Chain A
Amino acid sequence: MGERRLGAREPGRGAGLEPRSEFELKLHDRAAGTCLGDVERERRRQKAVSVAAYAFLISVSLPLVAGYGWLILNSFSSELAHGVWPSGFTLKHWRFLVESPLPDYPDLWRTTWNTVWLASGVAVTVVAVSIPTAYALSRVKFRGRSAILALALVLNAFPGITLLIATNYVLRALGFLNSIPGVLLVKAALMTPLGIWVMKGFYDAVSWDVEMSALVDGASRIQAWYKVMLPQVMPGVAAIAVFSFIYGWSEYIYVVTFIQDGAAWTLAGYINAIVGDFRFLDYGLLSAAALFYIAPVLLLFLFAQKYLMRVTTGGTKGGG
């Protein structure tokens, strides 16, 4: 923060205070002395604030680091002294990968496959639905555009979760209850307003001249979209795809509410069952299973962060 130190009170500068006599020079020196003292004090004060900022950030973030660190350490440790300090490396908590924790659990790998299918289904649906609609909202002039835009914005802020009881009924009527496609469509529907919103932002950022020149060169609107626009909004497509994938992968409430049949569970249902059966009993199993579930999210979080950061502020999750 070098620029902040740029002195509060640098002596005499620009104020027409050129010293004229010996006496004034002395006076000025003394004044300059005090002022330099001020700068020094200011610098110290800034440093104190800086130290306080670091101390605050570290102390409030520590529990977060501890929580995620525990997941990793505990899943590989035979024992945690004081519940915190790991000792003894072991893989026994991971035996759920090869044998079911209880006989009535569905197959883990099938469950994992279900989760992949739900997550990618949500991502593909959100992208496929958002791209054309956002294009129309951003680039086409028609009557009612402003009304549709308003509707998209309202839906974006609307808490879809309040419709859960009725959605259960609708899914049952459509024959989608107890199946992945049902949850997939509901989740995609909830994320689409955000997807449209983000994509419209990306389309808006493409210069009109670029598209116009393609049109002038004789391209049709579809060609102009495909050849000129699409490549430029690909980061937006990547952003909503990654974001929807993570939320589809992580989905909890719709999975455990709408899917009773273990064969159609995703990992959310599977781990929910582990929590039900082994809470308080086997934190090793709990943390290993949780780590298994969160691993793809962590990888995407680490390697696709530049895309994620473009969407997270729009958070569909109210963060309770």
Chain B
Amino acid sequence: MTRGQRLGLFVLFLPTLVITVVFYGLPAVVTAAMSFTDMDFRLRWNFVGFATFLRVAEDFLLPRILQNTVVYAFFTLAFFNVGLALLLALAATFVPGRVGRVVQALWILPRLTPPIVYGIIWMWILDPTRAGLLNSLLALAGVGPVDWVTRHPMAVIVVTNGIIGASFGMVVFSSAIRSIPRDYTWAALADGATWLQQVRFVTLPLIRWPLLCVTAYQTLSLLTSYEYILIVTGGGPHFATTVWSLYAYNLAFGGDFANHAFGYGAALSLVLVVLGVAASVAYWRAFRFREVAAEPKIEVM
């Protein structure tokens, strides 16, 4: 490669390089550095060694937060991001293709909806008075209104996030199911297998990699994203729906109880950053890298 070619190559990568350094590299370093300070709203770099991490160990709220995080991630994953997604994919690939595509589009819509609009729809559905969808349906059955967010906070965030999460698995599973050679299904049918047996012994074993792939990917995103929880419950009532990532956010930017605890928030985020890096490296090693790394065939520049 000549000098000119090398320069040309550098130009092609320059914008990406700048963006990566400024918005990934730098913030990652700042997160790490900040977690060794007690930085607050004054934004002073006052290094305190491991004091922030001692505070993490001593925080009496953290066991609760941790429990919330595990419960939230597990149930959303099991019931929606994998469970419902799989059922939707199985049903959508069974019905005619056109119907399947409409259903798929409908389920992708929440993912593209502005989060605050999605939140407003749920505020209406969950409204504690008769004005809300659920309570007006209950009223038809003669049951008094329920304050859903206060009474069932965890269920609320599992459902609201799950409805968004299900589409990812649905799309992946549907295309995996469609790519199963027809011969297998026919062979199973010829052997007199019922639909359930087909699913159990033909479909599921053949899509185990996509299943694993979606589970791994969605676990990571459930542990790190909190936007919809922030909108629908704000982490409340009284920390009942505050997960780890939302706790870090609320410490730094949250309303009443936060003192712009950037140092402490950064320390909690650092855990997620490390987890995120490790998981994404592991994820791509396990699932995609080999198939995409084929060498290009043209060498001239």
Contacts and interface: CB of A to CB of B under 8 A. Distances in A.
> A and B: partners?
yes
Interface of A: 1, 3-4, 6, 8-9, 42, 45-46, 49-50, 53-54, 56-57, 60-61, 63-68, 70-71, 74, 80, 82-84, 128-130, 132-133, 135-136, 138-142, 145-146, 148-151, 153-170, 172, 174, 185-186, 188-190, 192, 196, 200, 208, 211-212, 215, 221, 246, 249-250, 252-253, 257, 267-268, 271-272, 275, 279-280, 283, 286-287, 290, 293-294, 297, 301, 305, 308-309, 312-313, 315, 317-320
Contacts of A301: 105, 109, 112
Interface string B262-295: 1001100100110011011101100011001101
A256 to B, nearest CB: 9
B94 A165 contact: no
A146 B289 CA distance: 10
Main secondary structure of the interface of B (DSSP, over half): helix
Given A163-B269, A318-B218, A320-B229, A83 B165 contact: no
A136 B12 contact: yes
A267 B107 CA distance: 24
B165 A319 contact: yes
B296 interface: yes
10 contacts: A82-B130, A82-B140, A129-B16, A140-B298, A157-B280, A160-B24, A189-B20, A290-B121, A317-B225, A320-B165
B27 A170 contact: yes
A166 B28 CA distance: 7
User: B114, B136, B292, B298 — which one has the most chain A CB atoms within 10 A of its CB?
Assistant: B114
A56 B165 contact: no
B71 interface: no
Nearest to A257: B253
Contacts of A146: 293
Contact of A294 (B13, B117, B229): B117
B88 A60 contact: yes
Contacts of B229: 320
A271 B292 contact: no
B109 A252 contact: no
Contacts of B129: 280
Interface of B: 1, 9, 11-13, 15-16, 19-20, 22-24, 26-28, 30-31, 34, 43, 76, 81, 84, 87-88, 90-92, 94-96, 99, 103, 105-117, 119-125, 127, 129-133, 135-137, 139-140, 160-161, 163-168, 171-172, 175, 182, 185-186, 189-190, 192, 194-195, 217-218, 220-222, 224-231, 245, 248-249, 252-253, 262, 265-266, 269, 272-273, 276-277, 279-281, 283-284, 288-289, 292-293, 295-301
A300 to B, nearest CB: 8
B57 to A, nearest CB: 20
A1 B94 contact: yes
Nearest to B261: A165
B279 A286 contact: no
A84 B167 contact: no
A8 to B, nearest CB: 6
A164 B265 CA distance: 10
B166 to A, nearest CB: 8
A49 B193 CA distance: 13
A139 B113 contact: no
Contact of A166 (B30, B112, B114): B30
B109 A56 contact: no
